[in-house]
Amino acid sequence: MIYGIGIDLVKIERMKEAHDKWGMKFFEKFLTENEIAYCFEKKDPYLSASVRFAAKEALVKAIGSEVFVNLKDVEIMNDEKGKPSIKVHGELERFFRDRGIKHCHLSLSHEKEFGIASVVLED
């Protein structure tokens, strides 16, 4: 059964502007070390950073207001074929276990100006 769904859209230029203004401290607020390494090995790191931020926000929307979500407790990963997935840590991992959330489906995309993410949680 579906527990929740969420979607989020991010303007890619916003990531670049924030990086120009605050440097890496901006990304360190919401990306894990693994995510930062993944994004910044790319030709355009802002594409990957924007969809990761969108994925985390979409997950928050799928959960609703039931629990506070530390964005660094959410990690967006890619398998060897590039398929994205979400791994949760800390309080959020306990929340998933307590609510019986077993599957977290994730879709990411970006085009020119925007990055978008969709999350479906299943119990």
Contact 17, 26 (CB under 8 A): no
| Backbone CA torsion sign across 8, 14, 16, 22 | negative
- State the Cα angle at 43 between 41 and 44, rounded to 5°: 100
Q: How far apart are CA 90 and CA 45, in angstroms?
A: 26
In the prediction, which pLDDT does 33 show? 96
> Given a cut of 90, is residue 87 above it in pLDDT?
yes
Q: Is the pLDDT at 108 greater than 90, yes or no?
A: yes
Is the CA virtual torsion 4, 8, 35, 110 positive or negative?
A: positive
- Domain 2-122: assigned CATH number: 3.90.470.20
Span 57-86, average pLDDT: 94
In this prediction, residues 79-92 reach a mean pLDDT of 94
- Tens digits of per-residue pLDDT, 23-70? 999 999 999 999 999 999 999 999 999 999 999 999 999 999 888 999
Give residue 65's pLDDT: 80
- Residue 35 is predicted with a pLDDT of 97
The predicted pLDDT at position 100 comes to: 96
Percent helix, strand, coil in the chain (nearest 5)? 45, 30, 25
